[in-house]
Amino acid sequence: MSRCEWIVCERTDRWAAALRVTIAGQADWPACTPRLYEVRSLEELGARLELRPDCLVLINVDEANLSRVLPWLAAARGNYSGVRFVALIDHDFDSCGQDVADAILEAGAADFATSPRHLPQILPLARRHAAAIAARQSAAASDDSFVASVWFSLPWQADEREVP
């Protein structure tokens, strides 16, 4: 099984370091331990996604980049349908945090975290995404039927192992 990959897009390494600690603290992580890649800009992120269009992407959002992240995320969501996006919202949005979270979700993020302490809340999404990728790779490798490959591509079926 290939390793699942996560891309962390942030100018610092604050969130990536917190993710490594969070992942290390998970005793029940599946066989696919995520490999973290760090990029510092949306341009670098786009280049990385061209190589790995099926990974989990975590984007740091702050006041300085919100106006660039929203349209980029909306466009990327259409261009990379196999990617799941998670927003890492900085604390500088204290007064309008829910509005920012709503806008980010509307733009295409699947989830968000507002603090490194909240990173364990995104792990179920990450596990489902990793399972869906593994199922797609397995279906492609074993040349399963078209119905099986479609079944495993459905996000709510990622944890299911039997095709109806």
**143 within some domain:** no
- Model pLDDT for residues 67-91, shown as the tens digit of each residue: 999 999 999 999 998 999 999 998 8
Rounded to 10 deg, the angle between the 146-153 and 123-141 helix axes is 170
Is residue 114 in some structural domain?
Answer: yes
Asked whether residue 128 is domain-assigned, the answer is: no
Structural domain span for residue 110: 5-121
- Summarize the confidence of residues 38-64 as an average pLDDT: 95
Residue 97 falls inside a structural domain: yes
Cβ–Cβ under 8 Å, residues 5 and 49: no
In a domain, 85, yes or no: yes
**Percent of the chain scoring above 90 in pLDDT:** 55
Short-list 109, 91, 94, 84, CA closest to 34 = 84
Given a contact cutoff of 8 angstroms between Cβ atoms, the answer to whether 4 and 133 are in contact is yes
Domain count, the chain: 1
Alpha-carbon span 64 to 52, nearest angstrom: 27
Q: Taking the model in full, what pTM does it have? A: 0.81
CATH number, domain containing residue 81: 3.40.50.2300
Q: What percent of the chain has pLDDT over 70?
A: 79
In a domain, 53, yes or no: yes
Of the given ranges (45-54, 63-72, 129-138), which has the lowest mean pLDDT?
A: 129-138
Is 157 contained in some domain?
no
Question: Looking at the domain assignment, is residue 14 inside a domain?
Answer: yes
DSSP 117: G
